[in-house]
Amino acid sequence: MEALDILLTASFWVAAIRIASPLIFATMGELICERAGVLNLGIEGIMTAGAFAGWFTVYAGGDLWTGVLVAALAGAMFGLLHATLTVPLGLSQHVVGIGVTLLATSLTYFTYRLALPEVTSPPKIEPFQPLPIPGLSDIPVVGPALFNQTPLTYLAFLTVALTAWVLYRTPLGLAIRAAGENPSAVEAQGISVTAIRMGAVMAGSALMAVGGAFLTMSAFNSFFFEMINGRGWICIALVVFGSWRPGKALIGAILFAAFDAYQVRLQQLSGGVVPYQIFLMMPYALSILALILVARRATYPKALMVPYQKGER
Amino acid sequence: MRVEPKPAPSFAVTLLYPVAAIALTFAITALLVLAAGASPFSVFHLVWKGAAGSQFALLETLTRATPLIFTGLAVAVAFRAKLWNIGAEAQLYMGAVVTVVLGTGALPLPAFLLIPIIVIVAMAAGGVLLLGPAVLKTRFGVDEVVTTLLLNFIVLLFVSMLLEGPLKDPMGLGWPQSPKVIADAQLPRIVQGKRLHYGFVMALVSALVVWVIMKKTVLGYEMRAVGHNQQAASFAGVPVNSVLMKTALLSGGLAALAGFSEVSGLKGNLTLDLSPGYGYTGIVVAMLAMLNPIGVVASAIFVAGIFVGADAMSRSAGVPSYIADVMVATALLTMVVAILFTRYRLRWK
């Protein structure tokens, strides 16, 4: 029964929401890119760059929100690179995405070594602190989980609402969705598909970078090599799992994070009888399983990965 | 702005674009070297000396190129059929696991029997690992990019589990490493006392075999047809799914050979740092070679030279050796642009 009791503890849900936060940012980022028709495999590297950029800004004396902004800008710059190669030039989104991931990761590691040549253990910063919402944070279980988190977690939830509102309630959102479904219809309205797609990739990449920055500025307090550890790839699976809808993707991210928090606790409970690697494999295996379950009825944006040229049909 | 096809350029011009891409890569890297407060010319000179300046350096470069030829071939084969195998890293480790399982005394056979058996089983293991994502792609429409990427993490954890469990070296003082393979399971060195081993020769032969398969066999033709236009290939009677399965087996098998040759020829045992990302670097190697199997050999040696040279340079010039990774990633991006411009031009209007 112990294994089920975990699900009722507040600390479990606090951890689940904390683990979900970076995934929510990055999943929304990827979702925006894909809704506009661009698969962004740069996500893993962009998250790494964001994690470093945000942390390093604070380490160098900037305040926390400046760090978030710098991370977002770094992400947008890699997004610009990705978009330039994939949108107007129409190069393979697979190859360019992997290339951007390799470049962003290696540039980050290079800069880290250059800035901190001597350190053996990475220096720490003062990260975001939990900000309880008066009244709401006193509700049992739900209060600590949802209303006693760091400001970046609240921002993550706000991002989902904003993404949904922009995509479904504004002309801009309509243009973004149409660019991913039927780009010639966008062009027929006198809107540039190229501009919409490039903008979407840059905005999405900025969100991915903020997701990375969450890890170094809210979940932990310093930067480690390989700290993204496949989270970017998991977010790509979450976008498919959420059938390209912000709300569903949010639920997917929270379910996934709850599972991740659960496996850590089961690991402690099992007392070393089952090798710990089995538990660590579960999140990745779960992502693959989720993809298999939804793949048959997944309705991809029709123009996803299809380059668009003005005047071509 | 439009991207439009242009008349096929002459062979010389076709070569000019990749050269320009490499030159651009060096220019961008030079900016980073300047940012690091060093002189680009002396740094590039040190890289060159470290990669090819002596017999030792050259042999080291060829040794480093060996796994990259295998993973580069694996990626080239898969990408040619538009099977996006980003999982060469995992397939490499599967090959290494098989080598250790069969090569540490479980099969007491002479070398001329043992090595071929290990090679076949290792290739099968790597191939089957990629067969999974290929089946998921054709049967369920699951994107193989994500599944192969996620499998890299799963397989590395699996290896970690083996190295702390059944494959743990009892003499390893607690380190997560496997025992050494027996003498009959080892590939001999090409030059006594140097690190270069017969895995390199195997890699060259593999490149040749892959070239023959791609250019001279029906399977190679079908793979190219599937990669070019799946609908058209299917309409013309090419069994698309079966071609993709064969591609997966071949690609995964080639990547597994990288793991086999690293364990059997160089390291002798399996550790968690057997591959510093050879699977991912294989993507760059394949793209630099424009997916040509013979070109893979040249680009693997080039990329290996950058890594080996940068290691040596970093020790003396103090520029972080990650400059090599930056350079290789930049080369990938400049090269895909260069390949585009050999066949298309930009029209501003």
Angle at B291 between CA B286 and CA B295, to 5 degrees: 80
Token pair for B23: 């030159």
* A9-64 per-position pLDDT tens digit: 888 899 999 999 999 999 999 999 999 999 999 999 999 999 999 999 999 999 99
Mean pLDDT of chain B: 93
pLDDT of residue A227: 93
Contact A150, A239 (CB under 8 A): no
Q: Using 50, 70 and 90 to split pLDDT, how confident is the model at B349?
A: low
Residue B281 in tokens: 């670097």
- pLDDT: which is higher, B272 or B15: B272
CA distance B128 to B251: 10
- A274 interface with B at CB cutoff 8 Å: no
A69-84: pLDDT as tens digits: 999 999 999 999 999 9
Give percent of chain B above pLDDT 70. 100
pLDDT higher than threshold 90 for residue A131 = no
- Answer yes or no: are the C-beta atoms of B71 and B278 closer than 8 Å: yes
Mutate to test the interface with A, among B149, B303, B330 (most CBs of A within 10 A): B149
Q: Which region holds residue B174: left if phi is over 0, alpha if psi is between -120 and 50, else beta? A: left
CA B229 – CA B222 distance, rounded (Å): 11
- For residue A220, tell me if it sits in a domain: yes
Chain A residue numbers touching B3 (CB-CB < 8 A): 88-90, 309
| Residues in contact with B80: Cβ distance below 8 Å, sequence separation at least 6, in sequence order | B214, B223, B224, B227, B247, B291
* Residue A29 within a domain: yes
Domain presence at residue A125:
no
Neighbouring C-beta atoms of residue A149, cutoff 10 Å: 23
Query: Average pLDDT of B262-284?
Result: 95
- Contact across the interface for A92 and B153, Cβ inside 8 Å: no
Q: CA B304, CA A214: separation in Å to the nearest integer? A: 35
Residue A252 lies in a domain: yes
pLDDT bucket at A312, cuts 50 / 70 / 90: low
Average pLDDT of the segment spanning A271-293: 89
Using the beta-carbon criterion (under 8 Å), do B337 and A275 form an inter-chain contact?
no
Instruction: Judge: A298–B287 Cβ closer than 8 Å, yes or no.
Output: no
- Best CA proximity match to B329, nearest among B296, B284, B290: B284
Give just the sign of the alpha carbon dihedral A98, A191, A75, A157.
negative
Give me the pLDDT at residue A199, please.
Answer: 98
Taking 60 as the threshold, does the pLDDT of residue A1 lie above it?
no
Q: Which chain B positions have a beta carbon within 8 Å of A110's beta carbon? A: 32, 320, 322-323, 325-326
Q: What is the mean pLDDT of residues A115-139?
A: 85
User: A105, B84: Cβ pair inside 8 Å?
Assistant: no
Per-residue model confidence (pLDDT) at position B134: 97
| Residues 6 or more apart in contact with residue B60 via CB below 8 angstroms | B195, B308
What CATH number did the domain enclosing A277 receive? Answer: 1.10.3470.10
**Partners of residue B287 in chain A, C-beta under 8 Å:** 95
Q: B136-146: per-residue pLDDT in tens? A: 999 988 989 99
Mean pLDDT of A273-292: 90
Q: Would you say residue A194 lies in a domain?
A: yes
User: What pLDDT shows up at residue B348?
Assistant: 74
Mean pLDDT value of segment B170-191: 89
CA–CA distance, A258 with A156 (Å, rounded to integer): 16
Cα-to-chain-centroid distance, residue B334: 19
Mutate to test the interface with A, among B326, B327, B334, B348 (most CBs of A within 10 A): B326
What ipTM was predicted for this assembly? 0.93
Quote the number of domains for chain A.
Answer: 1
Q: Name the minimum distance, in Å, from the CA of A308 to any CA of chain B.
A: 10
Give strand pairing partners of B197. B189
What mean pLDDT is reported for chain A? 92
Token pair in block for residue A31: 């979702």
- The span from the CA of B328 to the CA of B300, in Å, is 11
Size of interface A-B (CB pairs under 8 A): 132
The reply to whether A306 falls in a domain is no
CA distance B84 to chain A (A): 8
**Domain assignment of residue A124, yes or no:** no
Best mutation site among B31, B80, B135, B153 for testing chain A: the one with the most A CBs within 10 Å?
A: B153
How large is the average pLDDT for residues B328-343? 92
In chain B, the residue whose alpha carbon lies closest to the alpha carbon of A229 is B153
Enumerate the β-bridge partners of residue B189: B197
Residue range B294-310: mean pLDDT, rounded: 96
Where do the domains of chain B lie, and which CATH numbers do they carry? Answer: 38-318 (1.10.3470)
For residue B258, what are its two tokens?
């990288």
Residue with the larger pLDDT of the pair A43 and B37? A43
Q: Are B224 and B81 in contact (CB under 8 A)?
A: yes
| A157 vs B176: which has the higher pLDDT | A157
d(CA A80, CA A200): 10
**Domain for residue A90, yes or no?**
yes
Residues B111 and B184: beta-carbon distance below 8 Å: yes
Is the pLDDT at B343 greater than 90? The verdict is no
Residue range of the domain that includes A59: 2-116+150-295
Q: Do A234 and B150 touch (CB under 8 A)?
A: yes
Letter string b/e over residues B273-298, b meaning 16 or more CB atoms within 10 A of that residue's CB: ebbebbbbbbbbbbbbbbbbbebbbb
Question: A250, A24 in Cβ contact below 8 A?
Answer: yes
The amino acid at A15: A
DSSP-derived letter for residue A138 is G
Which pair of structure tokens corresponds to residue B170? Answer: 């009892």
Using CA atoms, how far apart are residues B319 and B46, in angstroms rounded to an integer? Answer: 11
Which residue of B lies nearest to A101 if distances are taken between CA atoms? B329
Q: Inter-chain contact A95–B284, Cβ cutoff 8 Å? A: no
Looking at the predicted structure, is the pLDDT value of residue A310 above 80?
Answer: no
Q: What is the pLDDT of residues B5-27, one digit of tens each?
A: 888 777 887 888 888 999 999 99
